[in-house]
Structure 1
Amino acid sequence: MNTTDRRQHLRDILKHLILEPTGFTPEHAANGLHSIMRGEASDAQMGGFLTALRLRGVDQQPEMIAALASEMLSNALIPVLETDTQSREDFGIVADIVGTGGDGWNTFNISTTSSLVAAAAGLCVAKHGSRASSSNCGSADLLESLGCNLGVITPSDVAELLQEHKFCFLFSSTFHPSMRYLAKTRRELGFPTPFNVLGPLTNPVKPNRAVIGVHSQPLGPVMAQALKILGRRNYAVVCGDENLDEISIAGLTHVWHIDGQGEINYYTIQPSDFGVACHPLSAASGSTLADNQATLKRLLTNSITEQDRAIRDFVLINTGFLLFVGGMAQSLKEGADIARKTLESGKAMELLNGFAKTTQQLQAQENTTTN
């Protein structure tokens, strides 16, 4: 991408998008976002850009999505996975499990819980997330309610947190500060735009394994192709048969699995493949922040009630699949078995408590520095 194009103002990009849509390229889309992330665009221009992208169906074009994700990452704060005792290679596999949201099911915080259980089982997990936007309780909301100070985590903290806990949370607002220019416009528009699918593609750690849930089946192959363009390998895009952005506990889940050579393989899976019973999605729904917090505590301390069994099994299949994709399990059933043993051991609760304590210490250090 040449320097002249990079300097092109969003107004000119928007004019091109509206008046010459057939000649609008991924490079133009990236240039438009570049202008926004430099703070050069007005609210009207940003609103027009997002609306035009949606009307032109950019969220169904892998090349466009990949270009926007690349631009976001080029402006992100990228952690260096290196400590005094570990190099990037020493960290080995670093994984994530995340969904686009927007599926309307308002299930319990499955990916957040699964990330903790998988980390407690030994998989290094860098969880990218934010507060709730389309649900009652987002990943950050839940972890913060349990004593985790997420906003204090900076790029320089990530490697040590992963080394100590096998887990770190990367708050999207911290690691993508330039996206603040779009926040108000996206909120006020009130409809989904292509930027709603970029979060799972823009984890600044750039994990080498991931499970990404999407909110509609047609988006599955689009997201997989975008990931392939971005050079991601050993990633799995999943969508429950109910248009759920997780592996469904109720029945079939569609999978688009990008292998190590970049080939996209489509297949379906179901709870019985994990040795787990099916449950209706209504039995695994989320509720208020307080209720979800209490449910998570019961899950992680192995003190579930009869009403928690569907959610427990929901966590087992999603954690099991993450462990399978992450190379820690040779089959889906083995992955679920590892997840079950980890939950029963209490290790996930120990991990959460340790991670929370470390982030509280980081907060205390910051307070001491600023006072």
Structure 2
Amino acid sequence: MADSNNQTTRNMDSRLHLRDILKHLILEPEGFTPEHAANGLHSIMRGEASDAQMGGFLTALKLRGVDKQPEMIAALAREMLSNALVPKLETEDKSREQFGVVADIVGTGGDGWNTFNISTTSSLVAAAAGLRMAKHGSRASSSNCGSADLLESLGCDLAIVAPSDVAELLSKHCFCFLFSSTFHPSMRYLAKTRRELGFPTPFNVLGPLTNPVLPDRAVIGVHSKALGPVMAEALKILGRRNYAVVCGDENLDEISIAGHSHVWHLGGDGEITNYTIHPDDFGVTTHPLSAAAGSTLEENKATLKRLLSNTLEEQDVAIRDFVLVNTGFLLYVSGFAQSMKQGAEIAQQTLETGKVKSLLEGFSKATQELRAQEKAASS
């Protein structure tokens, strides 16, 4: 009985202390399980781990190829979500069911192409078309201009949006931005270590899997074709359905405007179908990726303003078409369009009518009002 009690104590310690998890990962890697990975992250998010232990854990996970194992990725994502601040999609006049389909479009980053903020723009266009978009993101990490950077430059006060605000913003504007630092506060313990390591770890692929709203539909871009089936399988393990993982042929974490893109489509029945798509499928002209390159925050801001005002310059056409392809596919995956071509047509009509500009202005004003209310309450 004493031996049994001692074993139970040791098992409890392994769940609580990263030191023991790390020892297992280094000395007994063959027996390292998804549960061990989740328990290690649990210890970190409780603030129990030292910088050295966290650095060792992330390095060991990378060397052991955890980011190539869907079971491991799913376990880490599930642990992150269990510690997230989860908004309830209910308002005084709407139940969760009445919200209908809620979607996201997001990429892992890290593809090295530094393109314009396509997924951010596509999320705004899709929302203006009527699809409720819960955009999960952060500031730039591997590019010059992240989704949060761009929206903040246009007057959106993203840091003020709390879980209790999400339902109302989605109800009124069909759009809400969920700042990852707000909704995943426990991940702050890892932020410094991840920056200082200077190389990608398995945590770089978790962002697209950990939107706390748990969208009904999503398009997720990955930076490597090898990661596509891994990500799709992780999504399946997590119980997601009607999601599509995409990767441009150039190892681009979006649908390419230059040529073919690979899709791993996770259907409602849990089956994963692999196929390729091309701008031709959307009725859109191909462009070299260099024509859709992003730049500084100020230049990206100016480009987005021209897109939303429908006052395109010659250099904006490729970016506009890039947005049409990615938005069109999102609308198709979400059941909002019957075909990819129809999705792109809806996206173009939405841009040309000025609805996207109005939506962004409305969302920005709403976040500023939330900030004003907070200041008034504290004064």
For 1:98, the equivalent position in structure 2 comes to 106
Larger-gyration structure (1/2): 2
- Cα displacement (A) at 1:208: 0.7
RMSD (CA atoms): 0.9
Deviation at 1:356, TM superposition (A): 0.1
Residue 5 (structure 1) shift: 6.2
Please list the CA deviations of residues 204-251 of structure 1 after superposition, one character each: whole Å capped at 9, or x if unmatched: 000010000000000000000000000000000000000000000000
Q: Which residue of 1 aligns with 2:246?
A: 238
Q: Distance in 2 between matches of 1:73 and 1:228?
A: 16
Matched, 1:48 2:50: no
8 Å CA contact 1:124–1:162 kept in 2: the answer is: yes
Q: Among 161, 180, 186, which residue is 1:153 paired with?
A: 161
Instruction: Normalising by structure 2, report the TM-score.
Output: 0.97
Residue 302 of structure 1 contacts residue 343 of structure 1 at CA under 8 Å; is this kept in 2?
Answer: yes
Q: Say whether 1:252 aligns with 2:252.
A: no
Is 1:320 matched with 2:328? Answer: yes
Task: Please say if 1:229 is aligned against 2:241.
Answer: no
Matches of residues 1-371 of structure 1 in structure 2 within 5 Å?
4=12, 7-371=15-379
Q: Which amino acid aligns with 1:158?
A: V
Distance between the aligned counterparts of 1:169 and 1:183, measured in 2? Answer: 20
Mapped to 2, the partners of 1:16 and 1:180 lie a distance apart of 25
Say which SS state the counterpart of residue 327 (structure 1) adopts. coil
> How far apart in 2 are the matches of 1:5 and 1:48?
18
CA–CA distance in structure 2, aligned partners of residues 121 and 172 of structure 1 = 25
- 1:115-156 CA-to-partner distances (Å, cap 9, x unmatched) read 000000000000000000000000000000000000000000
Larger mean Cα displacement after TM superposition, 126-135 or 3-12: 3-12
CA contact (8 A) 1:6 1:34 kept: no
> Which runs of structure 1 show a deviation greater than 4 angstroms over 4 or more consecutive aligned residues?
none
Deviation at 1:6, TM superposition (A): 7.1
> What secondary structure, in the 3-state scheme, does the structure 2 residue paired with 1:251 have?
coil
Give the secondary-structure state (helix, strand or coil) at the position aligned to 1:186: helix
1:97 aligns to what SS in structure 2?
Answer: strand
Report the Cα distance in structure 2 between the residues aligned to 1:114 and 1:149, rounded to whole angstroms.
Answer: 20
- The secondary structure found in structure 1 opposite 2:300 is helix
Give the deviation of 1:307 after TM superposition.
1.0
1:332-356 superposed Cα distances (whole Å, 9 cap, x missing partner)? 0000000000000000000000000
Secondary structure at 1:111's aligned position in 2? Answer: helix
Note if contact 1:5-1:31 (Cα within 8 Å) is conserved in structure 2.
no
- TM-score for both structures, normalised by structure 1: 0.99
Maintained 8 Å contact 2:14/2:20 = no
SS at match of 2:262: strand
Structure 1 distance, partners of 2:14, 2:343, is 46
Asked if the contact 2:161/2:367 (under 8 Å) is kept, the reply is yes
Gaps of 5+ in 2: 1-7
Quick one: percent identity of the two aligned structures? Answer: 80
